[in-house]
Amino acid sequence: MKIKSLRRIRRDVLSWLLAVPALIVFLIFSWEPLLSQIYYSFYNFQGFTPTTFAGLQNYLNVLTNSGFQQTLLNTLKYVFWSLILGWPVPILAALFINEIPWFKSFFKFSIYFPVMIPQIATALMWDLIYNPSQHGFLNELLTKMGLPISQWLQNSHMTIVLITVTMIWSGFGGTTLLYLASLQGVNRELYEAAAIDGAGILRRIWNVTLPSIAPILKLLLILQISGIFQIFVQPLAMTSGGPDNASMSLLLQGYYDAFSYSTPQDSMAIGVIMFIILAIISVVYLRTSKEE
């Protein structure tokens, strides 16, 4: 038995060695910061130096802060609108590109082009497009169409939706290519069989295409929820969380707590709260996937 185990170890040692660098990187850049954050979220700070143990006080400070509820609700709204507006778009784009017989490469490049632009540049560009003055790009279009101009980002009812549109524009290209790759793997015979049974294009998409790519649909859904929940760049660059905290997100609030208000303990508490929420969502997803 002992000899067998030694042989196994000798056989597997190279595999473990190959995995060690990645494990070290993961440990240093993912686990250590997370565990440190959880640990220090229970401490008071002077500047960025932990001082005395605070227990749950930092969490109480964050949860009872007058702006926290709105900030949490804003973050959930970002997720909601990104699912409504943003989740179907790459699927439809991938289906379109998959079906068209000509200029596939051109369309692939076109939809991927926004992904190549840095997020800050995208945010600033859209901030200009949404300029509320008479001469803002969109307002000029509205004026030419005989419509009244809009306040765009300055309208607190529209801010989150408009920022979501910016994110969708910036990110849907990458997701589309992933769906496209998945679509390439769908068995052609299934389409032929469906066609023989008299299924039209919509029925083929519903009954063949979507079930075939269901695993990647679910995976990208959970990744999207997780990614959008951590939205930061766009509200920082476009609205600084305004107007009147209408676009403030949890991560942006954490950033301000750490770097504008010198209360890193509150920032860490927010980070841990976000981690708990995302962990619950991830566990639910993994459980439902396992059951299926």
Partner 1 sequence: MKKWITGFCVTALTLMLATGCNNSSSSTSNNASKKSGTTSSSKKPAHITLTIGDWPTKTDPTYKQYEQWKKEYEQKYPNVTIKESPLSYWTGGSNGSSFYTAAAAGQLPNLNSAPFTETSRVVGNGYAADITNSLKNEGWLKYINPTAAKSVTQNGKYYGIPVAIQPEGLWINVAVFKKAGLVNKKGLPEVPQTWAEVEKDAKIIHQKTGVAGWVMPSEKNMGGWFFLQMAYTYGEQFEKKTNGKWKATFNDQPAVQALTWLKNLKWKDNAVQSKSLADFNYVLQAMGTNQAGMMFGSPDWTNILIKQYHANRNNYAVALMPESQSYGKRVEEVGGIWDFFSKSSSPDQIKAGINWLTMTGVTPFVKSDAVKGFTQGVLSNVKLKYPVGPSDPSQWTSKAPMLKKEQSIVKKHINVNMGLYQDWENHSLKYMKAEPPIDTQQMYAALDQVVQKVLSDKNADPKALLDNAAKNFQKDYLDKYNAKQ
- The residues facing 49 across adjacent strands are 46
- Nearest distance from C-beta of residue 112 to partner 1, angstroms: 30
- Closer CB to partner 1, 21 or 198, in the complex: 21
Cβ proximity to partner 1, 114 vs 242, nearer residue: 242
The nearer residue to partner 1, 14 or 202, going by C-beta atoms, is 14
Q: Which of 245, 236, 97 is nearest to 175 (CA)?
A: 97
Distance CA 7, CA 2 (A): 9
Around 34, how many Cα atoms within 13 Å sit in the side-chain half-sphere? Answer: 11
Count CB atoms within 10 A of the CB of residue 162. 22
Distance CA 201, CA 67 (A): 49
Q: Where along the sequence are the contacts to partner 1 (CB under 8 A)?
A: 13-14, 17-18, 20-21, 24-25, 28, 46-49, 61, 64-67, 131-134, 151, 153-156, 238-240, 242-245, 256, 259-262
Q: Tell me if 235 sits within 8 A of 255, measured CB to CB.
A: no
Q: Pick the closer one to partner 1 by CB: 153 or 168.
A: 153
Q: Residue 195 to residues 190, 201, 203, 209: CA-CA distances in angstroms?
A: 9, 9, 10, 13
9/221 with CB nearer partner 1: 9
SS3 108: helix
Write down the least CB distance from residue 104 to partner 1, Å.
Answer: 40
Backbone angles phi, psi at 160, to 5 degrees: -65, -40
